[in-house]
Amino acid sequence: MTIAVLPEVAPRTDDLSIWPASTTRLPHGGLAVGGVSLAELAERFDTPAYVLDEGEVRERCRTYRDAFPEAEVLYAAKAFLSRAMVRWVQEEGLGLDVCSAGELELAVTAGFPPERIVLHGNAKSPRDIATALRLGVGRIVIDSPSEIARISAAVGAHGHQKVMVRVVPGVSAGGHDKIRTGTDGQKFGLSPSDGSAQHAIARTLGQPQLELTGLHCHIGSQITTVEPYVVALRRMVELMARMRDEHGVVLPELDMGGGHGVAYRPGEAALDLTALARQLRVELIESCAATGLAVPRLAIEPGRAVAGPAGVALYRVLAVKRTGEKVFVAVDGGMSDNPRPALYGVRYAPRLVGRHSTAAPCRATVVGRHCEAGDILADDVELPGDVHPGDLLAVPVAGAYQLSMASGYNMVGRPPVIAVHAGTARLLVRRETLEDFRSRDIGG
């Protein structure tokens, strides 16, 4: 599908700073992403739907590669994964970070080299471990003492597997309590403060079929400042130096995880990638020099920062209800395709597309169609006062942790994913249908 993209002068308040770089204005209030009209996409593929800008994904991969030329950049598949996404990140030179046999098998069957994949997770199933070994995954991140024996047994006496140990560095960072993973008292990793990290490292070194290549940490998600990463890196290097002194082993890798924050609304802070790369590089060199440690190869795991700003969610307005001073705009999706507002209180910036309105703005709450009072997609946002059923709403920064966390609640069905690039659109993931639900239900 190819369309002509025509320029239109926009009001000064019409902020597209958080939209994909390819976003352009069309006449009569329309928007195009990747050279394709969002209104035409809604007509062609129906709503709700996710639009993913291939060019934006690729450019963000390149930005990471340029910022961290000596590091290993691993795309965090949990943000969003499809066969097309696998191909894009592979072609742009990134590795892959997965946390299940499902993500791993999809990636490898799509042609991704398994040796460039890292598997982690706090509770790996026997299937996860068996699949990783069968496919030849590059590294497995050990998250608990019991995994050492389980992985060793699965590898066998004559096998070999590279592993890392996940450490909790005691740094609190992230946009919400539920996504802060760098401190004691949560389910991930092993802590140096109680000795569990040191004990796991020693046990792993005692397994001849396991090759400990380095340490791993992940301090949280949606982090918008550099300092927590600098502090975490310093503590990780100190632990690596202590392990060298105690065991005579110099670990060649240090994985600092991801969690790089993005702006979901105009004016919000985002992590400065250039500053992050510069300060981590300086801190790594200085910390290693201070401890006499050989500089390990750095690894990072961006997910949201690659996929999130490349996605746009499209919804059709079903109803507008005015209750006292509140205006509720109900759309044809909701928490089944984006549970993040209900889980984390995330705030988005939806906008009307497809028609130009001269009505005065109103404050509205965009809600979903599900049987939950908490099914709110965007609270207290500005929309045209004449918003009505049939209108099309677009929500930017929708590429990460939306469809990947979607559910089958109310049997509504998960939306499709449409890739746009250079004026063309193609379906990546089809819409989930009633037939899909029926085919899984084999009772009678």
pLDDT tens column, 200-210: 999 999 999 99
pLDDT of residue 179: 44
Q: Tens digit of pLDDT for each residue in 208-219?
A: 999 999 999 999
The answer to whether residue 5 scores a pLDDT higher than 50 is no
292: left (phi over 0), alpha (psi -120 to 50) or beta: left
User: Higher-confidence residue: 3 or 308?
Assistant: 308
- What type of residue sits at position 364? A
The three-point CA angle 68-92-99 to 5° equals 80
pLDDT of residue 185: 64
Q: Tens digit of pLDDT for each residue in 287-300?
A: 999 999 999 999 99
- Indicate the pLDDT class of residue 13, thresholds 50, 70 and 90: very low
- Indicate the pLDDT class of residue 93, thresholds 50, 70 and 90: very high
Q: Which of 9-23, 101-115, 323-337 has the lowest mean pLDDT?
A: 9-23
Q: What is the pTM (predicted TM-score) of this model?
A: 0.93
The three-point CA angle 221-184-210 to 5° equals 85
The pairing of strands 24-25 and 31-33 is: antiparallel
440: left (phi over 0), alpha (psi -120 to 50) or beta: alpha
The answer to whether residue 310 scores a pLDDT higher than 80 is yes
Tell me the catalytic residues: 371
Q: Tens digit of pLDDT for each residue in 121-171?
A: 999 999 999 999 999 999 999 999 999 999 999 999 999 999 999 999 988
Are 381 and 15 contacting, i.e. CB atoms less than 8 angstroms apart?
no
Average per-residue pLDDT in the chain? 93
pLDDT of residue 243: 96
pLDDT of residue 174: 54
pLDDT of residue 133: 98
The answer to whether residue 3 scores a pLDDT higher than 80 is no
pLDDT of residue 173: 60
CA nearest 295: which of 304, 308, 282, 306? 282
Q: How much of the chain exceeds pLDDT 70, in percent?
A: 94
List Cα–Cα distances, 158 to 13, 152, 208, in angstroms: 65, 10, 9
- Indicate the pLDDT class of residue 187, thresholds 50, 70 and 90: low
pLDDT of residue 171: 83
Residue 432 φ then ψ, to 5°: -75, 135
pLDDT of residue 186: 63
Q: What is the Cα Rg of the chain in Å?
A: 23
C-alpha span between 195 and 336 (Å, rounded): 41
The answer to whether residue 175 scores a pLDDT higher than 60 is no
pLDDT of residue 1: 38
Long-range contacts of 148-157 (CB under 8 A, 24+ apart): 148/200, 148/203, 148/204, 148/207, 148/210, 150/124, 150/126, 151/210, 152/207, 152/209, 152/210, 154/126, 154/129, 154/130, 155/209, 155/210, 156/209, 157/209
What average pLDDT does range 94-117 have in this prediction? 98
The answer to whether residue 180 scores a pLDDT higher than 80 is no
Specify the DSSP element, H or E, that contains 282: helix 273-291
pLDDT of residue 12: 37
Domains of the chain as residue ranges with CATH: 24-51+311-440 (2.40.37.10), 54-308 (3.20.20.10)
What average pLDDT does range 379-408 have in this prediction? 96
